[in-house]
A and B are shown apart, each in its own frame.
Chain A
C-alpha cells in the first residue's frame, strides 16, 4: 500500500469555526508532513513530524495546530482562520531512513476555503 489518504477532500469554514484535517498512511513511514499550496505555487512546508515528535515548525501561525496521535496518523487542527489561509493542504510521508531530504509521498490534499 503506497497510499496517503486525506479527509475531507473539500472544506468550507467560517473564520470562527474549528475544524480538523486528517491524514493517514500505512507504509510504515516514520515521518509525516503538512504542506500548504496556493494556486500556481509550489508546496510550502508547514510542519514535520518524525517518530511522532514535532521536529520542524516553519513559523506557522498558532491558528494551525498539528497533532500526531501515532505513526500512521497526522491531524491539522484549524481555528480562527483567515480568508488568506484558503489553499490546498497536502499531507506527505517518508521513511525517514536517512533523516532528511527523502522522497515524499503525497496525499490528494484537502481544498480549504475560508469565508
Chain B
C-alpha cells in the first residue's frame, strides 16, 4: 500500500548540533505538510510545500520538497531544547482516491 517513511526513527543530539529528518513516499504527493508534536501534545502545523524542488525557511528550520515530489526533508540548525518532539511529514497522494497519509515520524531528543 501507499506508505510514507521517515528516517531516522529516533535521533538524540546535543544542544547546538544540527538535525535532519527525511520523508520518503512510495507515491507522488501533490503537496507536503510538516507537523511537530511535543510529548503529550498534538500535531502542530509547521509548513506546507507545494512546488517541486521548493525550499522554505523558518528561522532555524529549512524544509525541502524533492524534484519528483516523493520526498522531503526538514533540517534544524543549532538545535535547542525547545525543538524536542516528534516531527511528522504528511501528504496528499496524487493517484486514485483521496489519501492523506502521515509519515512514520522522527522523534528528536535534545540533550542540554
Which residues in A have some Cβ–Cβ distance to B below 8 Å?
40-45, 48, 55-56, 88, 90, 100-101, 103-109
Contacts and interface: CB of A to CB of B under 8 A. Distances in A.
B52 interface: no
B42 interface: yes
B100 A106 contact: no
Majority DSSP secondary structure for residues of A touching B: loop
Given A101-B91, A103-B33, A45 B100 contact: yes
A101 B102 contact: no
Given A90-B42, A100-B30, A103-B48, 17 more contacts: A40-B105, A41-B104, A42-B88, A42-B105, A48-B98, A100-B92, A100-B100, A101-B31, A101-B92, A103-B33, A103-B45, A104-B33, A104-B45, A105-B45, A106-B35, A106-B42, A108-B42
A43 B107 CA distance: 14
15 contacts: A40-B105, A41-B105, A42-B88, A42-B104, A42-B105, A43-B102, A55-B98, A56-B98, A101-B29, A101-B31, A101-B91, A103-B45, A104-B43, A105-B45, A106-B44
Nearest to B105: A42
A107 B43 CA distance: 8
A45 B29 CA distance: 17
B40 to A, nearest CB: 9
B1 interface: no
Contacts of A56: 98
Contacts of A90: 42-43
A45 B104 CA distance: 13
A41 B33 CA distance: 17
